[in-house]
Amino acid sequence: TFSQLCGFDYGTKSVQICKAPWFIKDKPRFEFRGLLLDTSRHYYPIDIIKQIIESMSYVKLNVLHWHIIDEQSFPLEVPAYPKLWKGAYTKWERYTVEDASEIFSSCFMFCGDVTVKLCENERLHSIYATDILGHSLTYSVYLDQLIIICGINVMAEIDVPGHAESWGTGYPDLWPSSSCREPLDVSKNFTFEVLSGILQDMRDIFPFELFHLGGDEVNTDCWKYTPHVKQWLQEMNMTTKDAYQYFVIKAQEIAISKNWTPVNWEETFNTFAEKLNPKTVVHNWLGPGVCPKAVAQGFKCIYSNQGVWYLDHLDVTWDGFYDAEPLEGITDYVEQKLVIGGEVCMWSETADPSNVQQTIWPRAAAAAERLWTSKEAAPTSNTSETALTRLQYFRCLLTRRGVQASPVTNRYARNPPYGPGSCYDQ
């Protein structure tokens, strides 16, 4: 917020703050403002991830949803089960425990050097800090807001049981059979032992209260054709749908036992809402409508409607991101409070280190404003006069900070500029 007031004056060659002193009154509309990064379809070196984390801080996104593993690769070191990262593409496309800790740590690098001094009012504090541009600043905030604005949490994801084929490269017993490689083998205790080992090792790295257990796009067909799984289903008197539910609920129990609040993709809610742990945070992705249903049943919800907030949908322009409304269809105030926020999702089937930042920026900034700013202050009417001008300016600020953000108004995301021109005239 503060750095938005600073501008370089080319006449005096100094950084100036116009109309100072300022009284800044600013707080986020939603507590959870996330960006998903998928490191399984393509691997991102930690230098790239740190660049992304730094750029998130510029728009006050505060959760990196790290979709670490998927069916294509298992890049993370898990000390309890050291063969798991044999599922990485190569031995170089891996995150050591130290790398993961470094990613976590870098999420707090961009707070500046913040010193908090208690003032007469017990909740009002003076903050002495250095902002991201290195300018000294002093301002007063309520401490609970400081905690909200400072630092980025990492919400790790282990997407089970569907998106997990790569687990079996190191431990083939996790596959129901060589021809049925996912979902993970629901019939073996070993599957849940491995899951528990992963969650235990990750607990040591990621202190955030939320952990994402996936649960989406589970096609259980091949469980039926795998003799020992079929036999187990019969013994348990379960359909494959029952077994999918059994897997998800058991994974939730393990996560909760390790003091995590579980997050699941919306299919789990759509399929067996009544069985989900009441603490479950339902993560919308398929389309509009699930958050209203989830909060009506008392669940918390994260909004990521793919039609507007999936960054890999290159045809969604900045205003599509900006116009999205996480509270759409929810009128009751108590239910609205259960929507903890939203998240833009950078799936990596066709993104890699060469183009990921151009795909994220500047569209993620439009969603970030929706998540931060009150609805009244960020209307969806007349946006080409209000939000667009701001976003174009911000895109140029991103490039000034070394972030490879795309032109704002290109028809498809990450397209090059059409011809010579100013950054401010896109």
**C-alpha dihedral sign at 288, 292, 297, 302:** positive
12 versus 189: smaller Cβ distance to a second copy: 12
CB of 100 to a second copy, least distance (A): 13
Cα radius of gyration rounded to whole Å, the chain: 23
Identity of the residue numbered 97: V
CB of 300 to a second copy, least distance (A): 31
Cβ-in-10-Å burial (0-12, 13-18, 19+) of 317 comes to: middle
**What does the alpha-carbon distance between residue 214 and residue 193 come to, in Å, rounded to a whole number?**
18
Token pair recorded at residue 356: 């990921």
CB atoms within 10 A of CB 316: 20
Reading phi first (left if > 0) and then psi (alpha if -120 to 50, else beta), residue 156 is in beta
CB atoms within 10 A of CB 379: 11
CB of 413 to a second copy, least distance (A): 10
CB of 166 to a second copy, least distance (A): 11
Binding site for a second copy (CB under 8 A): 8, 10, 13, 40-45, 47-48, 50-51, 72-73, 89-94, 96, 98, 348-355, 357-358, 396, 399-402, 404-407, 414, 416-425
Backbone dihedral angles phi then psi of residue 198, each to the nearest 5 degrees: -60, -45
Rounded (5°) CA angle 96-99-104:
135
Q: Say if residues 62 and 111 touch (Cβ distance below 8 Å).
A: no
Backbone dihedral angles phi then psi of residue 250, each to the nearest 5 degrees: -65, -40
DSSP helix/strand/coil, 163:
coil
CB atoms within 10 A of CB 290: 23
List Cβ neighbours of 90 (8 Å cut-off, separation of 6 or more): none
CB of 78 to a second copy, least distance (A): 13
**C-alpha dihedral sign at 76, 356, 52, 157:** negative
162 versus 407: smaller Cβ distance to a second copy: 407
CB of 146 to a second copy, least distance (A): 28
List Cβ neighbours of 387 (8 Å cut-off, separation of 6 or more): 319, 322, 366, 369, 378
21 versus 420: smaller Cβ distance to a second copy: 420
365 versus 378: smaller Cβ distance to a second copy: 365
CB of 80 to a second copy, least distance (A): 17
**What does the alpha-carbon distance between residue 184 and residue 86 come to, in Å, rounded to a whole number?**
17
Q: Is 376 a catalytic residue?
A: no
CB of 30 to a second copy, least distance (A): 28
Catalytic residue among 102, 157, 193, 217: 217
**C-alpha dihedral sign at 101, 66, 26, 337:** negative
DSSP 231-300: HHHHHHT--HHHHHHHHHHHHHHHHHHTT-EEEEEHHHHHHHGGGS-TTPEEE--SSTTHHHHHHHTT-E
Which residues are identified as catalytic?
217
